[in-house]
């Protein structure tokens, strides 16, 4: 570098300026190069760690007894934008109320009879149910049943951290008072809905999607061709608009029929998979992962991936992705691998 150029750059810096040429480091990438790699978590290890947390970590120590599926390529989180956790709530435990900017979902893996209270409505939850806790909604949980509850917590917390928009408020009441009748949201946001009710046009209402309905839908469409890359896909749609689950994340159920093998593709959204039923193998970039019930893995953006159900029984994934974000800003691109 010439003396004159160095002196000029120093002068720019002293005035908080930077020349474009100072940012160019070699070739500019022609396509996305994710900074985080695929990662796989064994369900057996996750459940064992969570059981252990149940013995050594009280709710006084950890406001929520939650273990994160931490992608070591990141400071925090499972993907760049989303995090998947497993939460344990033991019989008799109450997780106190709070609200925050991060939007959250729960997918119940184990247990019955617990209640999630969101914005004054109490939802009874059990295995396979899926519940949303949209951004800035009060939420607390109570396990008044006889068995431990375990559920997946999915949050857009890494995105919120990046945006630095995290308002976070403990509830001065500690626990919410239930102010809405049982089944209130279900009865008011469907095809028949009260005409005077104003709804938030960005955030969906908190909603509980029952496993029995998911199973029924799978059985009604299970014979159809489905999607070449993901098999039979059900969207957990915003019940009001039919749009994505939350503005920042799309949650889905994927079913691979017995011996089904999907085609390979890649896209600019990143996807987190949890194996809810069955066994098989997924290929992500140059990695091969064999999975069984309870396992989880993440497919970073722009990694080719495809899946194979290696058994005769259906395999079912619970899936979470940041595609709505990419759609909202016009960054979604998808590319099929040539056969
Ligand atoms: C949260 O609010 C819950 O309410 C669980 O159950 C996990 C992880 C990060 C930030 C907030 C919950 C969380 C969380």
Q: Does residue 1 have a pLDDT over 90?
A: no
Q: Does residue 144 have a pLDDT over 80?
A: yes
What is the predicted pLDDT for the residue at 122?
A: 97
116 close to ligand 1 (CB < 6 Angstrom) = no
Ligand 1 atom 6: residue of nearest CA: 64
Residue 16: inside a domain: no
Tell me the sheet residues that pair with 253.
Answer: 234, 318
Residues 6+ apart with CB under 8 A from 138: 97, 98, 99, 117, 118, 119, 120, 171, 176
What is the predicted pLDDT for the residue at 29?
A: 84
Residues 6+ apart with CB under 8 A from 157: 76, 77, 82, 83, 102
What is the predicted pLDDT for the residue at 95?
A: 95
Residue 221: inside a domain: yes
Structural domain including 213 reads 39-336
What is the predicted pLDDT for the residue at 200?
A: 80
Distance in angstroms (rounded) separating the CA atoms of residues 323 and 310: 28
Strand order in the sheet with 208-209: 66-68, 83-89, 149-155, 104-110, 130-133, 208-209
Residue 60 CA to ligand 1 center (angstroms) comes to 15
Q: What is the pLDDT of residues 253-274, one digit of tens each?
A: 999 999 999 999 999 999 999 9
Tell me the sheet residues that pair with 246.
Answer: 249
- The number of folded domains in the chain is 1
Atom of ligand 1 nearest to the CA of 139: 4
| Cβ atoms < 10 Å from Cβ of 47 | 17
Mean pLDDT confidence for 276-299: 98
Residue 211 CA to ligand 1 center (angstroms) comes to 22
User: Per the structure block, which two tokens stand in for 199?
Assistant: 């709804």
What is the average pLDDT value for the chain, to the nearest integer? 96
Residue 187 CA to ligand 1 center (angstroms) comes to 27
Tell me the pLDDT band of 276, cut-offs 50, 70 and 90. very high
What is the predicted pLDDT for the residue at 26?
A: 66
Residue 339 CA to ligand 1 center (angstroms) comes to 42
97 close to ligand 1 (CB < 6 Angstrom) = no
Distance in angstroms (rounded) separating the CA atoms of residues 261 and 281: 9
Distance in angstroms (rounded) separating the CA atoms of residues 213 and 217: 6
What is the predicted pLDDT for the residue at 177?
A: 96
Which segment of 12-26, 215-229, 291-305, 311-325 scores lowest on mean pLDDT?
12-26
Q: Does residue 51 have a pLDDT over 70?
A: yes
Residue 118 CA to ligand 1 center (angstroms) comes to 13
Q: Does residue 24 have a pLDDT over 80?
A: no
Residue 158: inside a domain: yes
Distances (CA, A) of 28 to 20, 24, 33, 157, 338: 13, 8, 11, 30, 25
Residue 253: inside a domain: yes
What is the predicted pLDDT for the residue at 72?
A: 97
Residue 3: inside a domain: no
Distances (CA, A) of 237 to 142, 191, 200, 315: 26, 14, 15, 22
What is the predicted pLDDT for the residue at 133?
A: 98
153 close to ligand 1 (CB < 6 Angstrom) = yes
Task: Give the residue, out of 66, 136, 159, 206, with the most ligand 1 atoms within 8 A of its beta carbon, to mutate for a pocket test.
Answer: 66
Residue 64 CA to ligand 1 center (angstroms) comes to 6
Residue 272: inside a domain: yes
Residue 14: inside a domain: no
Q: Residue 332 is part of a domain; what is its CATH number?
A: 2.60.120.10
User: Per the structure block, which two tokens stand in for 92?
Assistant: 């008799």
Q: What is the pLDDT of residues 76-133, one digit of tens each?
A: 999 999 999 999 999 999 999 999 999 999 999 999 988 999 999 999 999 999 999 9
Task: Give the residue, out of 108, 155, 169, with the most ligand 1 atoms within 8 A of its beta carbon, to mutate for a pocket test.
Answer: 155
What is the predicted pLDDT for the residue at 28?
A: 77
Q: Does residue 178 have a pLDDT over 80?
A: yes
Question: For the chain, what percent of residues have pLDDT higher than 90?
Answer: 91
Residue 294: inside a domain: yes
Q: Is 133 exposed, middle or buried (0-12, 13-18, 19+ CB in 10 A)?
A: buried
Tell me the pLDDT band of 10, cut-offs 50, 70 and 90. very high
Atom of ligand 1 nearest to the CA of 106: 6
Q: Does residue 201 have a pLDDT over 90?
A: no
């Amino acid at each position: 570098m010439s003396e004159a150029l160095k002196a000029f750059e120093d002068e720019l810096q002293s005035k908080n300026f930077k020349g474009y040429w100072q940012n160019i480091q070699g070739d500019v990438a022609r396509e996305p190069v994710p900074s985080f790699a695929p990662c796989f978590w064994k369900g057996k290890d996750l459940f064992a760690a969570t059981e252990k947390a149940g013995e050594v970590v009280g709710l006084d120590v950890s406001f929520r007894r939650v273990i994160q599926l931490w992608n070591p390529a990141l400071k925090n989180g499972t993907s760049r934008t989303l995090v998947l956790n497993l939460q344990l709530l033991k019989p008799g435990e109450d997780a106190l109320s709070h609200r925050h900017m991060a939007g959250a979902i729960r997918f119940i893996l184990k247990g019955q009879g617990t209640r999630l209270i969101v914005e004054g409505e109490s939802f009874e939850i059990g295995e396979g149910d899926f519940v949303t806790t949209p951004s800035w909604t009060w939420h607390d949980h109570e396990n008044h049943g006889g068995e431990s509850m375990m559920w997946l917590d999915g949050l857009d917390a890494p995105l919120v951290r990046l945006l630095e928009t995290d308002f976070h408020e403990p509830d001065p009441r500690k626990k919410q008072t239930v102010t809405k009748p049982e089944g209130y949201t279900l009865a008011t946001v469907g095809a028949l809905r009260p005409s005077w009710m104003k709804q938030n046009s960005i955030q969906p209402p908190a909603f509980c999607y029952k496993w029995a309905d998911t199973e029924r839908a799978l059985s009604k469409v299970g014979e159809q061709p489905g999607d070449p890359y993901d098999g039979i896909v059900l969207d957990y749609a915003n019940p009001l608009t039919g749009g994505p689950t939350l503005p920042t994340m799309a949650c889905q159920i994927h079913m691979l029929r017995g011996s089904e093998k999907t085609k390979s593709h890649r896209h600019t959204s990143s996807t987190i998979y949890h194996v809810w039923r069955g066994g098989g193998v997924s290929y992500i970039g140059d990695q091969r992962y064999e999975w069984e019930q309870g396992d989880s893995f993440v497919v970073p953006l722009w990694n080719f991936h495809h899946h194979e159900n290696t058994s005769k029984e259906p395999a079912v994934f619970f899936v979470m992705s940041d595609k709505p974000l990419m759609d909202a800003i016009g960054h979604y691109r998808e590319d099929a691998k040539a056969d």
